[in-house]
Structure 1
Amino acid sequence: MRGTPVFCTVNGLRTHARRLGQGPPLVLVPGLGCAAWMYHRVAHELARERTVYLYDPPGHGLSEGRADFPLCIEHLTDHLAAWLAAMDLRGVPVFGHSLGGEVMFDLAARYPGATCALIACAPTGIPENPSVRVQFLRLLLDLPRERWGLLLPGLRAYTRCGARRMYHLARDQEAHMTGPLLGRVEVPTLLLDGLADPVVQSWTIWQIHEAIPHTVIRQIPGATHAMTDSFPRAVARYTLDFLKIVGQ
């Protein structure tokens, strides 16, 4: 994977991101258990027009974590907010995939000014948050639909994150999001909906659209949950066009 590794220490944890491309900055926040290296296909498309920061949350990818951190979504949000400030990236657009979408909704609601625009790709959040068992079953349905080249990088990322941390974060999804919190998101938001995604289904995207002001939905026929990998050009094109439209 091309790009430059960038490390900084945030609240005592050595935090990794990979930077590539040129132009205005865009931060990419990965999904549950995922790592920066799983997003290289969409990152290279986005890097044609933006400087992309592929951020590894604490305990994910090449970033340090602790046994007690992170164990809930607010931990992830607090660390992301501190990392953006440490990297002088406060106020830039943020792209979140799956759980990363829920984290950035939380960021925009709880840290006004931390970002100027959101791109939510197959985001979790109200009224989603099924039980951990249902989430696992949906992921099993999705796996055969994904590109096989993503399997080994994904297994490597999940092993690095660990079953215990992933379980706690998935459990926290059941209680985390509320309608009022989504209603506090005040920045322009793009919702990307994969029409072949069994994990985050279209009705969820439309409910989030109703809860957050200033949202736009773009649907991608045939796109699975990991559409950043299976449909990187479509995801990047919708993202870049949206940021131009909103002046970012």
Structure 2
Amino acid sequence: MVRGKRAASTGQSVPTGQAVYCTVRGLRTHARVYGRNHPVTIVIVPGLGCASWMYLRLARLLAQHHTVWLYDPPGHGLSRGHRNDPVITEQLTDHLAMWLEAQQLKRPVLLGHSLGGEVIIELAVRYPQLAGALIAVAPTGIPENPSLLKQMRRLVRDIPRERLAFLPLSLIAYLRTGGRRFYRLARAVEHQSALPFLVLICCPVLLIGGARDPVVSSGALQRLTGGWPHLQVVELAGAPHALTDANADAVTEQIQRWLGGIHLTEQAD
């Protein structure tokens, strides 16, 4: 049974998480798990330079219905990282695949934000046996995104649109990642992307965009789907790039509605 305090606004208990560590490729990897007794498991994969603590609001809401894992990629959050690893998205994808196997998570729902959205899509292409349904929230790497410099300018434009209390959490996470790793991963995002391979994925995919996100437009996400029935796009009005925090309630509502309409097989084995 998950213990938690009462939420004054909703009357529901707020799940408290448990830190879980394992070693992947010689790196001590951190995750936090909420609500272990639910039948559906969701793994949240952070964006570039982000950390698990930036997704607590979303995790606690989702954990009222599902088992939720907040995963820290190598060199992010509370996970250790080598100086030169990871610096390309393939390394992030390989580490996530090995971590899923180490935790014995069978085809969970993968929720990736920003760069994390690219990582889960690449994982579904390269490791289809590990991926259940995919939820990509404001995924970067869309073909019409501009150069790295222009993307950084868009991120700066996004800062005033985020929740004030979220900004120090972001700063701590970026400092933990370090400028060298952040820059090299950002360069990799500029030159390669897994998003054009969405049509090769057989599992259901939900793309969530924010109407006020200057980094990734929901219109660009809509054009990526190409009318394929397994791809669905939702736009949240007034949502910035970090809509997993600023609009956690609305994101949770959309996820719940979408999961209720698809067939999940991740724990059927």
Structure 2 counterpart of 1:10: 24
Aligned to 2:101: 85
Give yes or no for contact 1:128–1:200 (8 Å, CA) kept in 2. Answer: no
**C-alpha distance after superposition, 1:29-85 (max 9, x if no partner):** 000000000000111110010010000000000001101100000000000000001
Alpha-carbon displacement from aligned partner over 1:75-116 (angstroms, at most 9, x marks no partner)? 000000000010011311100001000111100011111111
Offset at residue 247 of structure 1 (A): 2.3
C-alpha separation between the residues in 2 aligned to 1:219 and 1:94?
19
- The residue that corresponds to 1:171 in the other structure is 187
* Residue 2 (structure 1) shift: 3.2
TM-aligned CA deviation for residue 178 of structure 1: 5.6
Q: Aligned residues, how many?
A: 248
Specify the SS of the correspondent of 2:94: helix
Q: How does 1:79-158 map to 2 (within 5 A)?
A: 79-158=95-174
Which has the greater radius of gyration? 2
In structure 2, C-alpha distance between the alignment counterparts of 1:200 and 1:117, rounded to whole Å: 21
- Cα distance, 1:7 vs structure 2: 0.4
Q: Provide, for residues 203-231 of structure 1, a one-character-per-residue CA deviation record: whole Å limited to 9, x for no partner.
A: 32113222866111111100110101111
- Alpha-carbon shift at residue 177 of structure 1 (Å): 1.6
Distance across 2 between alignment mates of 1:238 and 1:62: 29
Q: Which has the higher helix share?
A: 1
Conserved? CA contact 1:179–1:211, under 8 Å: no
Once residues 128 and 167 of structure 2 are traced to their aligned partners in structure 1, the CA distance between those partners, rounded to angstroms, is: 37
Change (3 A) 1:80 1:179: closer
Counterpart of 2:9 in structure 1 is: none
Residue-by-residue CA offset, 1:119-156 (whole Å, 9 max, x unaligned): 01111133144322111100000000000100111000
Secondary structure of the 1:65 match is: coil
- Residue 19 of structure 1 aligns to a residue whose secondary structure is strand
The two structures have a TM-score, normalised by structure 2, of 0.88
* SS of structure 2 residue aligned to 1:113: helix
Identical amino acids, percent of aligned pairs: 50
Out of 33, 47, 72, the position equivalent to 1:19 is 33
**Structure 1 residues 168-247: aligned runs within 5 Å:** 168-177=184-193, 181-210=197-226, 214-247=230-263
Task: Tell me how large the CA RMSD over aligned residues is.
Answer: 1.6
Supply the distance in 2 between the matched residues of 1:178 and 1:72 (Cα, whole angstroms).
12
- Unpaired stretches in structure 2, ≥5 consecutive residues: 1-14, 265-269
CA distance in 2, matches of 1:163, 1:18: 25
* Uncovered stretches (5+) of structure 1, i.e. residues with no partner: none
Secondary structure at the aligned position of 2:141 is classed as coil
> What does residue 45 of structure 2 align with?
29
SS at match of 1:193: strand
Cα pair distance change 1:219/1:20, threshold 3 Å: same
**Is 202-211 or 224-233 further displaced after alignment?**
202-211
Verify the 8 A CA contact 1:185 1:212 in the aligned structure 2: no
One of 82, 95, 112 as aligned partner of 1:66: 82
Code of the aligned partner of 1:141: R
Instruction: Say whether 1:43 aligns with 2:55.
Output: no
Counterpart CA distance in 2 for 1:70 and 1:212 is 32
Determine helix, strand or coil for the equivalent of 1:83: helix
C-alpha distance in structure 1 between counterparts of 2:182 and 2:247, whole Å: 25
Report the Cα distance in structure 2 between the residues aligned to 1:222 and 1:179, rounded to whole angstroms: 24
Runs of 4+ in 1 over 3 A off after TM superposition: none
Where 2:203 maps in the other structure, the secondary structure is: coil
